[in-house]
């Protein structure tokens, strides 16, 4: 090697190491005095296993299917997968009715498949969060079979029973019951049992210490296998006032307030933390946390030692479409929560999950003209808000609502039971079906669209739920090849969030709060400030930020062509570094 080549090489190496050091130093500086946690920095990807990938042609997604797609999942850059329930279940509510907490549902495979999946996830640096469904079990769980068999069975008090000789129990409303009645009469012991959800989902009696011990034991069993956390399904309903007071008329319209945080709920969470969570480095998230930011804080205030984070429903309980609800009101929800959470506690951020219609259909615009651009805008929102983003499978492709015309296309007990109830009352079934096109849960449960081949490459058999017919144009295979696809845009966003601690930990401040078209905010951390502007409409719109963006660096823009005006284009999203 000639001397000048050698010198160039040395200078190059010095430059290289000094720039990496600078980036590293910069990150360290930004994170000064910040309470960092891996689960705050994580991007969570939710997989609905029934619909992700079928490996054996029975039309139902399974664990082997997930294993076969782990490289795809890894390629998204996400850190953790939240998997909907995969435990043994008769599937009254697609796995949310567990008949054995320590076994895998036959449709999904075996425990060996599970162990392999977990190993392969960890090999790729992906953590696994399991759904924990312990407000209720299935009526086919051994505990319930025993419990209902006689009044003096040792499992009797594992559930809530009301002896019929005391008359009818005080009315309790049920989410999934055709008659909206949460007490079901059981002739075997001439008693009623409680089910907040379907008749096949009896509520466990958390007041019974034996129930709690058995459940903690089961949780440790999974954690000892190496899983990385739990999403606590409907757990806010676990504690009941077992004096069974009469509730005010029409209370079901405000159900979270009455069912949400029972008298001993926080005692149970603190006990669970002591007995289970505190022994592991895991992530725990509550589905629902009362009905106000103050309620939510009680679940996640680190000093109280309960859960790591919670997601609240206010940001999704907005009716059929965000445009009806109004962006100004919507923004106010986030400001209200942020006010409570700015110094401590942590929230999850999400726009969709398996109980919701598709993100782009509810918050964006799924017409062919705007589906891609508005999906990208919504992804930008999720990745730039304060809180841990939960991203629902298929949203990275811009998958949208399927909008079934016929009740027979639906499998979900939620839609089907509401339909039967309405039919019994002689209600307007056509209007109901029209509404479900926007709100039904199964809009968001259709099979993942892998490619343009038969059944979107999801299964070689007959899919359990119809595939969205737009799979021929909306699919992963086609988007892999397009550098500007929603899929590749999502990947870039994930990387951007990873590189920028400001996007994770930075203070949130809403700007131009009365702007009905644009959601704009800054994120600021130890001297670094980012500005995010998002047009939530299909029209050009302008924003008054009061911030001089001249010279600001554009870190991300969902349009690839430069703007000709100062206005934001339809669904435009820009992230500036100020």
Residue ranges that bind ligand GLC, judged by CB under 6 A: 93, 96, 133, 197, 233-234, 287, 354-355
Within 10 angstroms of residue 320's Cβ, the number of other Cβ atoms is 14
Which of 292, 231, 555, 501 lies closest to 386 in space, CA to CA? 501
- 328-335 long-range contacts (CB < 8 A, ≥24 apart) are 328/513, 328/514, 328/515, 328/516, 330/519, 331/510, 331/513, 331/519, 332/513, 334/385, 334/508, 334/510, 335/510, 335/513
Q: Catalytic one among 54, 177, 207, 233? A: 233
With a CB cutoff of 8 Å and minimum separation 6, the contacts of 299 are: 266, 269, 286, 289, 290, 306, 307, 310
Which of 513, 509, 558 lies closest to 530 in space, CA to CA? 509
Within 10 angstroms of residue 534's Cβ, the number of other Cβ atoms is 23
287 belongs to the catalytic site = yes
Nearest-approach distance from CB 105 to ligand GLC, in angstroms: 15
Nearest-approach distance from CB 513 to ligand GLC, in angstroms: 31
Beta bridge partners of 535: 518
Helix/strand/coil for 474:
coil
Question: Exposed e or buried b for every residue in 418-441, given b needs 16+ CB within 10 A?
Answer: bbeebeeeeeeeeebbeebbbbbb
Alpha carbon distance 148, 158 (integer Å)? 10
Nearest-approach distance from CB 376 to ligand GLC, in angstroms: 27
For residues 444 and 457, which CB has a smaller minimum distance to ligand GLC in the complex?
444
Q: Which helix H or strand E contains 283, and what residues bound it?
A: strand 283-287
The β-bridge relationship of strands 507-511 and 388-392 is unpaired
Q: Catalytic one among 62, 113, 287, 400? A: 287
Nearest-approach distance from CB 359 to ligand GLC, in angstroms: 16
Beta bridge partners of 529: 524
DSSP code, position 290: T
For residues 331 and 445, which CB has a smaller minimum distance to ligand GLC in the complex?
445
CB 95 within 8 A of CB 105: yes
Nearest-approach distance from CB 355 to ligand GLC, in angstroms: 5
Nearest-approach distance from CB 442 to ligand GLC, in angstroms: 11
For residues 70 and 255, which CB has a smaller minimum distance to ligand GLC in the complex?
255
For residues 313 and 559, which CB has a smaller minimum distance to ligand GLC in the complex?
313
Helix/strand/coil for 374:
helix
Nearest-approach distance from CB 139 to ligand GLC, in angstroms: 13
For residues 349 and 531, which CB has a smaller minimum distance to ligand GLC in the complex?
349
For residues 93 and 306, which CB has a smaller minimum distance to ligand GLC in the complex?
93
For residues 234 and 467, which CB has a smaller minimum distance to ligand GLC in the complex?
234
Residue whose C-beta lies closest to ligand GLC:
96
For residues 179 and 278, which CB has a smaller minimum distance to ligand GLC in the complex?
179
For residues 134 and 282, which CB has a smaller minimum distance to ligand GLC in the complex?
134
SS3 letters for 148-211?
Answer: HHCCCCCCHHHECEEEHHHCCCCCCCCCCCCCCCCEEEEHHHCEEEECCCCCCCCEECCCCHHH
Which of 191, 205, 215 lies closest to 160 in space, CA to CA? 205
Beta bridge partners of 530: 523, 577
For residues 234 and 318, which CB has a smaller minimum distance to ligand GLC in the complex?
234
Nearest-approach distance from CB 150 to ligand GLC, in angstroms: 27
Nearest-approach distance from CB 13 to ligand GLC, in angstroms: 53
177 belongs to the catalytic site = no
- Establish how many alpha carbons lie within 13 A of residue 240's alpha carbon, considering only the half-sphere containing its beta carbon: 23
Nearest-approach distance from CB 392 to ligand GLC, in angstroms: 12
Helix/strand/coil for 486:
helix
CB 282 within 8 A of CB 228: yes
Q: Which helix H or strand E contains 525, and what residues bound it?
A: strand 518-525
The catalytic residue positions are 233, 287
């Amino acid at each position: 090697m000639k001397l000048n080549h050698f010198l160039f090489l040395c200078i190059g190496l010095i430059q290289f190491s000094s720039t990496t050091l600078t980036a590293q130093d910069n990150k360290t500086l930004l994170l000064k005095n910040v309470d960092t946690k891996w689960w705050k920095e994580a991007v969570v990807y939710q997989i609905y296993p029934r619909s992700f990938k079928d490996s054996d042609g029975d039309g139902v997604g399974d664990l082997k299917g997930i294993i076969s797609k782990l490289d795809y999942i890894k390629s998204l850059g996400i850190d953790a997968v939240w998997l909907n329930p995969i435990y043994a279940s008769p599937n009254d509510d697609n796995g949310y009715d567990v008949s054995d907490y320590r076994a895998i549902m036959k449709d999904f495979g075996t425990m060996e498949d599970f162990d392999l999946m977990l190993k392969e996830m960890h090999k790729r640096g992906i953590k696994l969060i399991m759904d924990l469904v312990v407000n209720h079990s299935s009526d086919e769980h051994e505990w319930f079979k025993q419990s209902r068999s006689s009044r003096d069975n040792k499992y009797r008090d594992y559930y809530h029973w009301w002896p019929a000789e005391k008359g009818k129990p005080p009315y309790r409303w049920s989410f999934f019951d055709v008659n909206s009645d949460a007490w079901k009469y059981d002739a075997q012991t001439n008693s009623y049992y409680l089910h907040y959800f379907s008749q096949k989902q009896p509520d466990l009696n958390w007041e019974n210490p034996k129930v709690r011990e058995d459940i903690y034991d089961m949780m440790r069993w999974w954690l000892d296998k190496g899983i990385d956390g739990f999403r606590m399904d409907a757990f806010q309903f676990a504690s009941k006032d077992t004096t069974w007071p009469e509730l005010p008329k029409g209370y079901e319209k405000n159900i979270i307030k009455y069912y949400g945080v029972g008298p001993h709920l926080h005692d149970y969470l603190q006990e669970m933390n002591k007995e289970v969570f505190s022994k592991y480095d895991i992530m725990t998230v509550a589905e629902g946390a009362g009905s106000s930011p103050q309620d939510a804080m009680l679940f996640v205030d680190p000093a109280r030692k309960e859960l790591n984070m919670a997601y609240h429903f206010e940001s999704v309980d907005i009716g059929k479409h965000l445009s009806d609800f109004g962006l100004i009101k919507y923004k106010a929800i986030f400001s209200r929560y942020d006010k409570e959470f700015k110094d401590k506690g942590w929230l999850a951020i999400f726009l969709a999950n398996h109980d919701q219609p598709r993100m782009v259909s509810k918050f964006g615009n799924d017409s062919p003209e705007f589906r891609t651009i508005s999906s990208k805008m919504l992804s930008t929102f999720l990745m730039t808000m304060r809180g841990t983003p939960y991203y629902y499978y298929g949203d990275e492709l811009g998958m949208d609502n399927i909008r079934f015309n016929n009740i027979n296309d639906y499998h979900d007990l939620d839609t089907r039971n509401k339909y039967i109830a309405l039919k019994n009352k002689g209600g307007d079934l056509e209007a109901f079906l029209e509404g479900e096109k926007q709100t039904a849960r199964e809009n968001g449960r259709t099979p993942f669209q892998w490619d343009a081949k038969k059944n979107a490459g999801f299964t070689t058999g007959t899919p359990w739920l119809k595939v969205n017919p737009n799979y021929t144009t909306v699919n992963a295979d086609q988007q892999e090849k397009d550098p500007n696809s929603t899929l590749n845009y999502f990947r870039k966003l994930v990387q951007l969030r990873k590189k920028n601690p400001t996007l994770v930990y930075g203070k949130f401040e809403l700007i131009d709060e009365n702007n009905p078209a644009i959601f704009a905010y800054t994120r600021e951390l130890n001297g670094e400030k980012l500005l995010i502007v998002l047009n939530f409409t299909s029209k050009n719109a302008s924003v008054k930020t009061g911030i001089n963006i001249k010279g600001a660096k554009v870190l991300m823009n969902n349009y690839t062509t430069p703007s000709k005006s100062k206005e934001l284009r339809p669904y435009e999203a820009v992230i500036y570094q100020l």
